[in-house]
Structure 1
Amino acid sequence: MAESKKGDVASRAKQRFRELQKRNEDDEEEVGIRDFSSLPLKADHAQRPLWVCPDGAVFLEASSSLYAAAYDFLVAVAEPVARPEHVHQYKLTPHSLYAAVAVGITPASICDVLDKLSKVKLPEDVKKYILQCTKNFGRAKLVLRDNRHHVESGDAAALRELLAHRPIRNCRDELPEDGDRFEVGTAQQEIQANRAYLDIDIDGDSSEEEEKVSENINALRTYSFRLKQGTAQDVKKYASQDLDFPLAEEYDFRRDPSTATLPIDLRPSTKIRNYQEKSLSKMFGNGRARSGIIVLPCGAGKTLTAIVAASTVKRSVLVLCTNATAVSQWKAQFALWTTLPASRVSLFTAEVKEDLHPECGVLITTYHMVTFSGKRSVRGEELIKQVREREWGLMLLDEVHVVPAQMFRKVLSSCNAHCKLGLTATLVREDDLITDLNFLIGPKLYEANWMDLTHAGHLANVQCVEVWCPMTAAFYREYLRHGGAGLGNKESGIVVSGAGRTRRLLYVLNPTKFRACEYLVHFHEKRGDKVIVFSDDVFALLAYARALERPAIYGATKESERQAVLGSFRFNPLVNTVCLSKVGDVAIDLPEANVIVQVSSHFGSRRQEAQRLGRILRPKASAEGGGFNAFFYTLVSTDTTEMFYSTKRQQYLVDQGYTFKVVTDLPQPTLSALASEQDEIDLLNQVLNADALKEEAEEEKALAKAAKDDIAPRRTQVSLASMAGGDGVRYLEYGSTDAPKQKPKRHKLFRGRK
């Protein structure tokens, strides 16, 4: 009965909190603001950097002297909503609170520090929500130690509560004499860097509760029980779904003598930045390896962060990438930053299939190669069998946001990994699949602030510009005539028809946009800049490449040609512009590029906008006067649906603190390909007669080619002549050399047949 009352109280608190959130969202829609003016301010509110609102929203003043400490705490306990220049907005969610408790921050300390930093008293609804939401978070962990899974907790009562559930009790590997006894041990305390929030002091403000929290964190005694082989995932499922008792996964790699050690160390010249060190402290804060996700901007060194994690664990590493280009880049990065022998690194792609090191090594492959369910070549079958049978100490998942949750389940079920680390720059999708990652991989361990890294010089200072390009009369007439049918977004499942494709091509190939693109390319090439022209539409991409006389890379481009073009772009001073389709959105490393001209995009995809900006975020030499040293142009045809999509796409970058400058009067030079009105009419005819659907289908087919190329054995029907070397050779036989047209003699029985 007591447990039932507790459950009712928890459900009522959560329901009350949801009602407050809904009411404030409705108020915001009606009046455009949130009104919390009735909340009384503390006497010394000017010294405190936070506003904690009753609906769970938290606002941080970036000008406060306590900004750095408050930011480190907030990014650990709340989800960032918007981080413009002066005031940042965060939101408390179950996922963010789970992530906080997973890295050792107790629910009591979350409430205490929020109240200490807030200008107003911490609302009771928020406090109840935090305590009830995290009632079971962090109370127990699933620890891999001595190659066996254990359920571990600092509270023996938590283990008894779990064992009261029959399916979990059946998974316990116990001796008859064990009874209710548990293994007693010690665990390393959380490092001081992850407990810095306890040292925040405002005018000597401290409390007995804080000291109590500190004592609880410093407690080293642990209780645990061992699980039967192969039951760890079942126990995790039972605890989460049946008891609302999530178990964080940890790998005690220092106590895993059964797994071979990887001879990997960082080179003496390798240096990591403070934010990379901070993100790794969340992963290894208590001396074990936590599974989770690290979010760093493009160009901020996600690869190096993962390599440092691999050199810390020193066990076999499985690296999963999105394509073969990324596989090559990861191999180069391991060689650049570590002393790992080349013989220990293996590649497994459609074109390269290398043997795994017999004892311990690093395997770099793609998601498709691991999850492919069709028939493989004999060589591929041998390697995938080795991958599935090996125990991997660490699994690194690059660009975790781009792969649907269903494929992640295939990867996780195919490979035995003790610890999983996901890497991404944009933990957003236009569908709802992104939330599945919290339980498939682990909580978000760390997320960096883009603007802070820019101010520190770790990222390029980018000027974002939206160029408005009016539609010409002929193109706009056809745009209106084709109507708005068929526009949509592939990620959201909206089908795009042929009429919609034509309408889209009309505003992408707008002659005004053509001329604006040419002006920007020539202007920045004269400055010595390296320019990338992005277009999702392959038909439009090739049209721009022909008009600008610049090389283009898209899905159907051969890998050898692709590498040749990228190599020339990097090192040849005469090749300063390259045109890319959506294949350049991720996993193409072009640190020399500092200008992007975007003429076509994937509707309203915020993730794609951030990924493309990331192509030019690598640190650059400072501009004169400390100005911008990178430029991001988006060309938009006015009075079209492209303006709506452009605004939606920019929202993620605006939330990160970027501002977009609108330009309406860009010079319009005479483009050689559109020198006359007749040239514009010819271009319009090409657009109207283009098989846009076919072009798009070919691009998608080429992008999916990596999933099928050389995985299944190829069977080609050939003739016996071809096998004998006589392919293409034809013989004619004549009755005599001097009468080539004479018919051969036939037997009298067959003379009547034709």
Structure 2
Amino acid sequence: MTEEELDDFKEEQTTQNLVKKKRTRSHAPKQKLLQLEANYFDGETRARSNKYKYFKDLYILENSDNRPAIVMPDGHIFVETFSPFYSKVVDFIIAIADPCSRPKYVQEYQINPYSIFSAVSIGLKAKEIIRILAIISKTPLTDEFKEHIELCCLSVGKLKSVLRNTKYYIESNEIRRLLELLEIPFFEERHVYPEPDEKTYKHTKFLKVGKEELETIISGIGESSYHGNVARLTEGIDDLLDTPLEKQTILRFQIKTESVREIRQYAVDHNLFISDEYDFMNDKTIDNLGIQLKNTTRIRPYQEKALTKMFSGGRSISGIIVLPCGAGKTLVGIAALATINKPTVIVCNNRLTVKQWYNQILQYATMDMKKIFLFSDTEKQALPQTGPCIVISTYSMLSNPNKRSDKSQQIIDQIKSRDWGLLILDEVQDSAANTFRNVTDIAKAHTRLGLTATLIREDDKISDLRYLVGPKLYEANWLELSEQGYLARVKCFEVTVPMTASFYKYYLLSDHFRQRILCSSNPNKIRTVAGIIKFHERRGDKVLVFCDIIHILIHLAGLLHCPEIHGETPENVRSSIFHEFKNGSKVNTLILSSVGDKAIDLPSASVVVQVCSNYGARMQESQRLGRVLRPKSGNREEFNAFFYSCISDMTTDLKYSARRQQFLVDQGYVYEPVSDARERWPWPEDLLSDEKSEEEWLRKMLKVEKIQSEETEYESYSSDEYEESQSDYIDTIGKSAPHFSLLN
């Protein structure tokens, strides 16, 4: 009997013993983990949750004044930012816990199984996590808390999801883990038996990884040099290359391709940690793209920190990176693309963003640009039959359930027919929508990277991203980036104004739809907006005014003599207005609908004024603030950007305002309440200043008959009225236009 046959015989005996004993010993740790999960790591603070938690046995340790944190038995960590040790511990805390709220003095984080998963993925061990938490905490760690940390860490890395030749497998070097899975009916139903010509292990359900591939898997453990110009993200492991490696047997079983998303969801719901690593450096089955970052491209420290969480030990990990608007999310995606250097699909939310990604790759990287293919409603470039490439598309193009054109279907089939090294999901929260979540099924990728500034949705689907994409790998601190000069320093105001008597009378007698129209078009609010615009134009600032209700937006633009942009604005008009706003002095104030919430690049804007919005949407509030987050010149200690949310008092505006602000407050922003707007920003004397003009304004507002979502748009403004209102702007911008300003 050869040595290899002897090894196989021993492992077969071990397998048979495990099959006999698995019911008595294999399920206990898993059940305990699930039981703990039901009681710990389950939630939020009392301010956010209906659950009330008692920690009557918790106490403060003696001589713990200098310790910067309080670690609660449920996994919450409260950190004092004023502690002299804050800067030494915050990176560690971010590595093991998700940020919940980061105001100025005390920040809140939450440990959960998937934050521990991320921590273990970058090399942290249970003993080290527990040891450091014990050092920094003012309170003692409970035994149950420590046991849960250990169990979470032990569960990570035992099972891995693998993509080979458009087929998905689950693999492990511990056969009992695979046996446990196939004892679960859910996995047994979705398991694919090996083909007759495939090399199986003694157990007929398992495939044995061949010697050549096994050596590739093992050799990837020590690699830490990357393609592209990203600085090395892991250090100190090169010596492992010279360390003798013990003989390993890695087994896998195939799963049905159409069940991959279900399996990931099941794994998340049942705390089965199936890791999604990709040994891109040793993958010889997919050709390299030949992309590198330019020598002039500079990766900022926080961007490199984010990339470090994605790459560890020469492998890439699927997950989500959260960076504020204006902090360079696209560059992080391009750096990840250059690091993996494999065929990539980039998914955006509209065709404008598709072009932006193309231009950014051109700006930051060097490669054969003929390898980049655009797939949108206006550009459909067929992929080459062979060779690596990059596809930039949109969620709607890839996931459209309706009948496609022959050209579109051909491209979709090409995308489906090959393995991709990387799938980048821009504005990743959109991929959780029911209509878009099949994007990850269409583009089968070894690594999935989600990018966003706002990892929030107003439904309950945001947690689905854990199995659709992966865990959150990194989330930047907005205020810290502002203090370091990477973002503008924004001052936020909540400006409350009373309703006028005539508007409030109709408001009290109206249904919800008309109430929203009336409190949004409140003459006192309009006068306040005009006063704020006038104040900032005199300072030389560029102002963006947001109004979701199109009927109000168009009349407001006429009232203030400012150009407007919304969903029906022709592309040529939109481009002309944006160009003049960015580069000229004729357009200093621009009125936008929700189409301006994202994917517009207006770095000169320093003021946002919000007239009305989409109810309590937190994401929209943060996206609008993001329009002025681009770094500004001047003293870092002074506010150099301003955000005004205008509210009609004693109306539904108040109801939604607090919820809208929640995300930004959690990022550390403070809204200054203002109730004396007329004194601070004097109203124009000739704007809705008499009873007749106010009645005429009310009459126009009551004409609105129907709400529709424009990208949440409101309708009942006729096309003739629209074209008439725009004709002046089309003519004047192309010629020597008068200054669009309240200062005229």
Please, what TM-score do these two structures have when normalized by structure 1? 0.80
Pick from 579, 601, 613 the counterpart of residue 625 of structure 2: 613
After superposition, give the CA deviation of every residue in 1:600-656 in whole Å (9 maximum; x if it has no partner): 011111111111111111111124x72101000111111112012111111111111
Q: Which residue of 1 aligns with 2:545?
A: 533
Task: Answer yes or no: is the 8 Å Cα contact 1:172–1:226 preserved in 2.
Answer: no
Pick from 49, 58, 68 the counterpart of residue 87 of structure 2: 68
| Residue 415 of structure 1: how far off its partner (Å) | 1.9
Pick from 630, 653, 664 the counterpart of residue 653 of structure 1: 664
Pick from 554, 559, 570 the counterpart of residue 571 of structure 2: 559
Pick from 190, 199, 215 the counterpart of residue 175 of structure 1: 199
Structure 1 residues 114 and 585: alpha-carbon distance in aligned structure 2, compared to 1, 3 A threshold:
same
1:320-339 residue pairs with structure 2 within 5 A? 320-339=347-366
After superposition, give the CA deviation of every residue in 1:464-492 in whole Å (9 maximum; x if it has no partner): 0111111111111111121xxxxxxxxxx
SS at match of 1:523: helix
After superposition, give the CA deviation of every residue in 1:276-334 in whole Å (9 maximum; x if it has no partner): 11111111112112111101111110000000111111112211111111111111111
| Residue 425 of structure 1: how far off its partner (Å) | 0.8
SS at match of 1:51: strand
Question: Which residue identity lines up with residue 414 of structure 1 in the other structure?
Answer: I
Pick from 105, 113, 118 the counterpart of residue 132 of structure 2: 113
Unaligned runs of 5+ in 1: 199-214, 483-498, 703-754
Residues in 2 aligned to 1:587 and 1:535: alpha-carbon distance in whole angstroms: 17
SS at match of 1:312: helix
Task: Answer yes or no: is the 8 Å Cα contact 1:146–1:255 preserved in 2.
Answer: no
Residues in 2 aligned to 1:156 and 1:462: alpha-carbon distance in whole angstroms: 55
Q: Which residue of 2 aligns with 1:286?
A: 313
Structure 1 residues 232 and 140: alpha-carbon distance in aligned structure 2, compared to 1, 3 A threshold:
farther
Task: Answer yes or no: is the 8 Å Cα contact 2:268–2:466 preserved in 1.
Answer: no
Residues in 2 aligned to 1:231 and 1:505: alpha-carbon distance in whole angstroms: 49
Task: Answer yes or no: is the 8 Å Cα contact 1:620–1:629 preserved in 2.
Answer: yes
| Residue 172 of structure 1: how far off its partner (Å) | 6.3
In terms of mean alpha carbon deviation, does 298-307 or 401-410 score higher? Answer: 401-410
After superposition, give the CA deviation of every residue in 1:139-189 in whole Å (9 maximum; x if it has no partner): 222245798766555766645655666838865686356669776652425
Residues in 2 aligned to 1:287 and 1:626: alpha-carbon distance in whole angstroms: 40
Q: Which residue of 2 aligns with 1:517?
A: 529
Residues in 2 aligned to 1:100 and 1:629: alpha-carbon distance in whole angstroms: 37
Pick from 224, 228, 250 the counterpart of residue 224 of structure 1: 250
Residues in 2 aligned to 1:297 and 1:687: alpha-carbon distance in whole angstroms: 36
Residues in 2 aligned to 1:697 and 1:146: alpha-carbon distance in whole angstroms: 39
In terms of mean alpha carbon deviation, does 112-121 or 585-594 score higher? Answer: 112-121
Q: Which residue of 2 aligns with 1:444?
A: 472
Unaligned runs of 5+ in 2: 1-23, 225-230, 717-744
Q: Which residue of 1 aligns with 2:383?
A: 356
Task: Answer yes or no: is the 8 Å Cα contact 2:165–2:418 preserved in 1.
Answer: no
Pick from 579, 583, 588 the counterpart of residue 576 of structure 1: 588
After superposition, give the CA deviation of every residue in 1:530-574 in whole Å (9 maximum; x if it has no partner): 111001111111121111111111111122222222122111122
Task: Answer yes or no: is the 8 Å Cα contact 1:392–1:417 preserved in 2.
Answer: yes
Pick from 72, 75, 79 the counterpart of residue 53 of structure 1: 72
Residues in 1 aligned to 2:94 and 2:300: alpha-carbon distance in whole angstroms: 18
Residues in 1 aligned to 2:408 and 2:324: alpha-carbon distance in whole angstroms: 35
For the pair 1:414 / 2:442, whether they are aligned, the reply is yes
Question: Which residue identity lines up with residue 318 of structure 1 in the other structure?
Answer: V
Structure 1 residues 681 and 155: alpha-carbon distance in aligned structure 2, compared to 1, 3 A threshold:
same
Residues in 1 aligned to 2:245 and 2:656: alpha-carbon distance in whole angstroms: 53
For the pair 1:304 / 2:318, whether they are aligned, the reply is no
Pick from 478, 492, 497 the counterpart of residue 506 of structure 2: 478
Task: Answer yes or no: is the 8 Å Cα contact 1:142–1:152 preserved in 2.
Answer: yes
Q: Which residue of 2 aligns with 1:549?
A: 561
Task: Answer yes or no: is the 8 Å Cα contact 2:279–2:314 preserved in 1.
Answer: yes
1:703-714 residue pairs with structure 2 within 5 A? none
In terms of mean alpha carbon deviation, does 518-527 or 224-233 score higher? Answer: 224-233
Structure 1 residues 59 and 402: alpha-carbon distance in aligned structure 2, compared to 1, 3 A threshold:
same
Residues in 1 aligned to 2:677 and 2:257: alpha-carbon distance in whole angstroms: 64
Question: Which residue identity lines up with residue 150 of structure 2 in the other structure?
Answer: L
After superposition, give the CA deviation of every residue in 1:424-450 in whole Å (9 maximum; x if it has no partner): 111111211000000111111111111
SS at match of 2:155: coil
Task: Answer yes or no: is the 8 Å Cα contact 2:344–2:391 preserved in 1.
Answer: yes
In terms of mean alpha carbon deviation, does 91-100 or 369-378 score higher? Answer: 91-100
Task: Answer yes or no: is the 8 Å Cα contact 2:493–2:643 preserved in 1.
Answer: yes
Question: Which residue identity lines up with residue 388 of structure 1 in the other structure?
Answer: K
| Residue 68 of structure 1: how far off its partner (Å) | 2.9
Q: Which residue of 1 aligns with 2:420?
A: 392
In terms of mean alpha carbon deviation, does 444-453 or 49-58 score higher? Answer: 49-58
Residues in 2 aligned to 1:144 and 1:69: alpha-carbon distance in whole angstroms: 39
After superposition, give the CA deviation of every residue in 1:4-46 in whole Å (9 maximum; x if it has no partner): 6545544554444379x79x8499989xx98868634334423
After superposition, give the CA deviation of every residue in 1:393-450 in whole Å (9 maximum; x if it has no partner): 2111110113444234321222222211100111111211000000111111111111
SS at match of 1:116: helix
Task: Answer yes or no: is the 8 Å Cα contact 1:327–1:366 preserved in 2.
Answer: yes
SS at match of 2:586: coil
Question: Which residue identity lines up with residue 308 of structure 2 in the other structure?
Answer: S
Task: Answer yes or no: is the 8 Å Cα contact 1:13–1:128 preserved in 2.
Answer: no
Residues in 1 aligned to 2:105 and 2:474: alpha-carbon distance in whole angstroms: 22
For the pair 1:501 / 2:545, whether they are aligned, the reply is no
Residues in 2 aligned to 1:629 and 1:439: alpha-carbon distance in whole angstroms: 40
Task: Answer yes or no: is the 8 Å Cα contact 1:143–1:252 preserved in 2.
Answer: no
Aligned pairs, number: 663
Residues in 2 aligned to 1:588 and 1:154: alpha-carbon distance in whole angstroms: 48
Task: Answer yes or no: is the 8 Å Cα contact 2:292–2:338 preserved in 1.
Answer: yes
| Residue 272 of structure 1: how far off its partner (Å) | 0.6
SS at match of 1:626: coil
Q: Which has the larger radius of gyration?
A: 1
Residues in 1 aligned to 2:244 and 2:323: alpha-carbon distance in whole angstroms: 32
SS at match of 1:406: coil
Q: Which residue of 1 aligns with 2:697?
A: 683
Structure 1 residues 219 and 175: alpha-carbon distance in aligned structure 2, compared to 1, 3 A threshold:
same
Task: Answer yes or no: is the 8 Å Cα contact 1:550–1:579 preserved in 2.
Answer: yes
SS at match of 2:84: coil
Residues in 1 aligned to 2:245 and 2:390: alpha-carbon distance in whole angstroms: 34
Structure 1 residues 97 and 700: alpha-carbon distance in aligned structure 2, compared to 1, 3 A threshold:
farther
Question: Which residue identity lines up with residue 338 of structure 2 in the other structure?
Answer: S
Question: Which residue identity lines up with residue 221 of structure 2 in the other structure?
Answer: Q
Q: Which residue of 2 aligns with 1:249?
A: 276
Structure 1 residues 538 and 241: alpha-carbon distance in aligned structure 2, compared to 1, 3 A threshold:
closer
Task: Answer yes or no: is the 8 Å Cα contact 1:472–1:512 preserved in 2.
Answer: yes
Task: Answer yes or no: is the 8 Å Cα contact 1:239–1:247 preserved in 2.
Answer: no
Q: Which residue of 2 aligns with 1:276?
A: 303
Task: Answer yes or no: is the 8 Å Cα contact 1:252–1:289 preserved in 2.
Answer: yes
Question: Which residue identity lines up with residue 687 of structure 1 in the other structure?
Answer: M
Question: Which residue identity lines up with residue 451 of structure 2 in the other structure?
Answer: L
SS at match of 1:101: helix
Question: Which residue identity lines up with residue 651 of structure 1 in the other structure?
Answer: Q
Residues in 1 aligned to 2:392 and 2:368: alpha-carbon distance in whole angstroms: 15
| Residue 223 of structure 1: how far off its partner (Å) | 4.8
Residues in 1 aligned to 2:486 and 2:437: alpha-carbon distance in whole angstroms: 35
Structure 1 residues 231 and 331: alpha-carbon distance in aligned structure 2, compared to 1, 3 A threshold:
closer
